[in-house]
Amino acid sequence: MEDERKQKILLEKHKDIARIDQESKRTHGWYVRVRFLGKTHSKFFSDRKCGGRYSSLLSAISWRDKTEKKLGKIRTNKHMVTVSNSSTGVVGVRLNEKLNRYEVSWVTHQGKQGKTSVSISKHGKKAAFSRACVIRSEKEKSRLEFAG
């Protein structure tokens, strides 16, 4: 029974953790990469040094979780978009000049698209952008807390 549980954990996908088996360099282990606020924190967990494939994976998971906690990154297995394609530089916030507003979009915890907008005419450009960023941040935080 214990072996089945270990096998299941070994076969699961673990966010930010990749298996490396490079026979030519005799390299076998797990590579962890935590990205947060534009910085990458990484570490390799060798099967040999950690006492086997399963032990090295547990060490890698533990290191990832501790590193995320230390950095203040919310622990989730969901994929996070951290690069903005909009000219505002903020993921999920874009300027619609034609309609004179900032449009905010997010994904709900059910996986549905959420949208709203903030009027520049009503709030002014700076305040509208600020409000849009706050809305986006709150919606993303809510989704991640729900995902646990």
Contact 104, 96 (CB under 8 A): no
Assessment of whether the complete model's pTM goes beyond 0.85 = no
What single DSSP character describes residue 129?
Answer: H
- What is the arithmetic mean of pLDDT over 23-32? 91
Rounded distance, CA 62 to CA 32, Å? 10
Q: What is the mean pLDDT of residues 122-127?
A: 95
Taken in order of first residue, the domains within the chain and their CATH numbers are 2-71 (3.30.160), 93-147 (no CATH)
Mean pLDDT of 21-30: 91
Task: Report the range out of 11-15, 32-36, 130-134 with the highest average pLDDT.
Answer: 130-134
Give the burial class of 92: count Cβ atoms within 10 A of its Cβ; 0-12 exposed, 13-18 middle, 19 or more buried. buried
Q: How far apart are the C-alpha atoms of 94 and 43, rounded to whole Å?
A: 36
- Write down the pLDDT at residue 49: 92
Mean pLDDT for the stretch of residues 29-49:
89
- Which of the four pLDDT bands, split at 50, 70 and 90, describes residue 84? low
